[in-house]
Structure 1
Amino acid sequence: MENRASLIERLESQAQTIRRDILTMIYKAQSGHPGGSLSATDIVTALYFHVLRVDPGNPKWLERDRFIMSKGHACPSWYACLAERGFFPKEELLTLREINGRLQGHPDMKKTPGIDFTTGSLGQGLSGGVGMALGLKRKKPSTHVYVLLSDGELNEGQVWEAAMAAAKFKLDNLTAIIDYNDLQLDGYCHEVMPFEPLREKWLAFNWQVFEMDGHDMGNILDTIEKAKRIKDKPSVIIAHTVKGKGVSFMEDKCDWHGKSPNDEQFVQAMKELGADNPQTLQKELRKPSRPSKSSFLSDISRESLSATNKKVADQNLIPTRDAFGEALVELGAEMPNLVVLEADISKSTRTNRFAKRFPARFYQFGIAEANMMVAAAGMSTTGKIPFYSTYAVFGSMRACEQLRTFVAYPHLNVKVAVSHGGITPANDGVTHQATEDLGMMRTIPGLVVIMPGDYYATKALVRAAAKYKGPVYLRFTRDAIPIIYGSEDSFEIGKGKLLREGNDISIIAIGDMLCQALKAAELLGEEGISAEVIDMHTLKPIDQDIILTTAQKTGYVLTVEDHQIECGLGGAVAEVLIENLPTPMRRIGLRNTFAESGRYDLLLEKYGMSANHIFITAKQLLDASDS
């Protein structure tokens, strides 16, 4: 039997291996979350290499203990442990966040052996743990459920709902572990949204509370064992950790929440973690160059846009979230009643620019989207113009009822401005890809729904939304897309823009799909097919006049959207046509499927949304009608 000293030595050595795996994966992917993965490494290592009863040869073994990583962005630490335990080949770690891979940007129980619960949307995992513990308590009384939470996700009210339920049901087969490194994306937890006194809170919720050093392997083992022996109530372990633990320049640095190291940083980090020949490894892992700009908007000719007095300003790729951040600062200087409410991701949504310029008008709510939505509604009743900012998947779905009932129904002057729309948060995977939101939002009475097609359109439409009296849903991209318009172009809510004239088929596009539509029109033109391209930046109220005019002119309509084809742009255009001018049409978008992690351009290709697919579908529509 292994003695304690050798056990601790083995686990500490294993944890260093896991840390090297984490850095290797994230460097190879050039995407991921090293800080939180490294802070959790010692805890996850202790669980998988000593505590948990699991069988790598039979991942669905009924008697196994269960583990949920509620802080799903830290999944590289989980994947590394699973691979090192033999759940899948270690070589597969190098496929992190790749298209067609099993190691998604956030844990996916459908794809990865050993993953028992899908996570990534913070604040949900403990509820899943409560359900598992309830289901197993009588059926498999010896099975224990462990849930690893981040400290930042304690901002979410659902965590505390789950805490109440676990206490009520006396779930002594449930242990929650909080990775308390005191950092979340926008800064220190005690500044973003203070939650101390944390120990007293959990005690008040009738949990048994332990605290431990999350990097002291002996302390970790002892504390987990004590928690497992508690009867008639759930246990929570507050693990005091350091974000980025093990890499000197990453430790306690918020900037390392979600970025990959460059070549030099990777080599230095691997040296600190005891890797052999890190320079050689770095050269072996060096990624091929990123796709060229032409893969998105392959040389759209300026002449092709000149007929409508439009031109490509340049071929730079810029995420529309960047334009949103700039527009907010400009509007803030003009509109003293404009305020911004943020959910801990201002660096990502670009509202940090407004926060820096107008700190007294910037309100950090932490990871609490539902609360923030109703707070925005309340602020609007005092004469403020709140811009509510988060990711599209959270602003539209987690806070949907709040938006419907407390913003749209009383027609309050709230602007819901969301980044990461569609599949553009490509590498993050399904949990962060909002592909249903436009359809949901357009069914809410009185809500204006907008997705701009480029940098200049975004700046103009954010300005128009700020001036509009009433609720607006604005959707932006995470990934960079080409500039199509110029600073002189004007936009009006509810009025589509004719971007390219044509006679044979009409392509109506929204958001990031506009550049794909323009490229497809050029490909069609090379075969003698004249395609008209319309930017339907406002999904609601939709511009019926331009739809009917173009359909009457060409006789064929093709819609293109980064969204499910149900209820989005395709559905809206079809409704206009079927009631007024039945016209042969096709819809391009996601077809009753979720996407996955992967490079943005590759996802467009795989899911039939690229310029090439638009070109092929347009020809099929015309050929079918001719036959």
Structure 2
Amino acid sequence: MNTSEKRILFDRLEELSRFAKADILTMTYLAGSGHPGGAISSLDIFLTVFSFANLKSDPRDRIVVSHGHTSAGVYAALGRLGLIPIEDAIAFFRKAGSPFEGHVVTAVPFIDWSTGNLGQGLSAACGLALSSSILKRPSHVYVIMSDGEQQKGQVAEARRFAKKYGLSHITAIIDFNGLQITGKVDEVMPVNVVEDYLTEGWDVLEVDGHNHKEIYEALEKAKEGPNPACIIARTVMGKGIPFMEGKEKYHGTPLKDEEYVEALRLLGVEDRRDFYRQRRSRPFYLELKEVDTCPLIDEGVPFTYTNDDGVDNRTAFGRALLDLGRRNIKRGVPICVFDCDLAQSVKTLDFSKEFPGFFFQGGIQEHNTATVAGALSREGVLTFFADFGVFGLDETFNQHRLNDMNGTNLKLILTHLGLDVGQDGKTHQCIDYVGLARNLLHFKVIIPCDPNQTDRVTRFVARQKGNFIVGMGRSRWPVIEREDGRPFFAPPYEFVYGRMDVIREGKDGAIIAYGATVARAIKVRQMLRRDGIELMVVNMACVKEIDEDVMERLMELPFIATYEDHIVYSGIAPFLSLYLLKKGYRGRLETFGVKNYGLSGEPDEIMRAEGLDEESVVEAIRNVLE
């Protein structure tokens, strides 16, 4: 773009800014809620970035608006630039069924990450930038953030990650208006924003955040630099409406009637409230088109282990992962693996050595890693993130919640689950993973019970679209065998999501278990068999699903027990109890699970202390049946 063309653009943006401010005020006024002050503060940044970025040719640049509450400014800018229908955005802002939500979502064109939880946008930008590098796609990533969210630790994690992996095709723009909900940023929690970015190797530029020319020229410089760049845009909240300027009260407060009329008079824009009220009274629903970003994976041939091999579930996962890498990466289909300083424990070390360009070490920065991995997985790259349960899920639940809303395709491998962690003690015993995962509405959860099932589950999730959690303990669990001694999960067995496996038949009752407790349940059955009691043993690896065919058989039995290395109040016990209640089950139900934070000791010791060892379970079942 030559000098004359730029001058024309800047004049146009100046005029569009005036109308877009009125749009923001009208949206928030009609909705009766929203964030007009911050949206106006960021407006000129949005107008300039959306004009500068390549949004029209494929592959286009990527946009992340981290401070998603400024959504009215995003919609006004996109609308005035002709990229979305402005009248729909104004009329249906924050209306049920509309894509123009209170915080930006990916249903809106050119918005590449749904946000709202401040501090996660830069991490998402890192994931999108990685995808450009891995897929050799010439896309630049722009992430617009607020100054207040720089207080979040995840932003610092993302800064370091971007520099470490040379993500020079990220440009961050910070709306630096100096205000947040409670007051001045420097008084709420001081942050040395410029110094922080410079110290961690970023290029930093400072501009007037309401001067389109300065912003545009800074974007040009940032794009050509050798490092990721941060543009500090000095702005004024409520800019252009004198009574709103510099007042934090307008951060999240729409204008009253008299204020609205006065603001539009100052802007010289016609009051069209009646038109938009009438339009808003109509229903508005957007049909979303789902984009298939699941790569075609060669899953290979599963490995089969016997008890003589001495292989634990973690090792089985690591070997299957390495096999997937060999079969796919070498033929041009990328598989990426993320780790948080635990590669040896979670068994991704061999993959990292053979495919260092596809292995990303996030350090002890789980929050950033969870979001980066999620964003990358959404771009058509098969992505695994392996971590201990307490870090990979408990600590990062909010990040995975946002991943889930963004329709990611993440394969989350959780190791060291349950009391099975043993001597590491209660802080590392993840005993709540099923309960937490049940609240991630679109995550599927699989807890395989031996190395053979783990291998097959790993390959299964690799070829499936969507978010999956695959969980396992720390100890080596026995290979589950059929009664004739053959491995149960060997050919012709194939893993089918949602299917419950009947490991042993029985007529007097059933034990439903998963993961670590399946082998223990088989021992319980053997001990009760000496008393003439025949129990069915069922493996419920898919802990969020009901297998109607198997449950129909169980309903005919006089006794059912659930047995889990998990908090009994939030594992499979309440889920199955509700199901049985609704179905009118008339037999006896017993639940065996964790009721206290665990001790530090050998797994068998801890299970005994919780009454979950085989002998204690046998005694309890005997008492019930007698």
- Please give the TM-score of this superposition, normalised by the length of structure 2: 0.49
Please identify the structure whose Cα radius of gyration is greater: 2
- Please give the TM-score of this superposition, normalised by the length of structure 1: 0.49
